[in-house]
Homo-oligomer: A and B are copies of this chain.
């Protein structure tokens, strides 16, 4: 692993405070691999052998049941995924596939659990991380249960806009079909939902979104920090 990557991983909240030799020992057991696009990294139901870290590229977390499939989240650099399964030594609840060419570090779950037992700074960081993840999923669930698909899209656009810097125009960072799945709708419906937001000043050209009338869209979307603010 190149030194720059090593340092980038070290800087993650999860690893920043742990003892040097514990971090070194975690990294010694780690693999780093480059994967092409559309590779299934893990499959739900399998034992959680590795904690994964996305170093570059992006990874889709998805689940299936009875022939249906839904996107649960997208992981972008630099962050970990499947932490809860690793800690609990329980089967993965989600599958993961690369969306593009991606570089992934794999840390044996056994090592993570061992260091977790030995390093209380690491344990504390894991708590914070898990609490954050938990709250994110609760927000996602509120989004799903309390809003219509049009409202979910409107609020997604506002979040994405803020994430992109706040300007009136910005790019979607998803393929539309995956965005549809993340938002819990079909691609056809997403298409119609974009049209349904035109009266509120939203225009779409490919993956480029323009919000002509911020106030109108916000009046319709009614964004709420307890659902839409990822930082708290």
Contacts and interface: CB of A to CB of B under 8 A. Distances in A.
Interface of A: 44-45, 63-66, 68, 70, 72, 83-85, 87-88, 90-91, 93-94, 116-117, 120, 123-124, 126-128, 130-135, 137-142, 144-147, 151, 184, 222, 224-227, 232
A93 B146 contact: no
Contact of A70 (B137, B146, B226): B146
A93 B124 contact: no
Contacts of A124: 116-117, 123
B128 A88 contact: yes
In the complex, the 10 A-B pairs of residues with the closest C-beta atoms, listed nearest first? A120-B120, A130-B130, A84-B131, A65-B146, A137-B137, A70-B145, A134-B134, A84-B134, A87-B131, A88-B131
A142 B93 contact: yes
Contacts of A94: 138
Given A63-B142, A146-B66, A226 B91 contact: yes
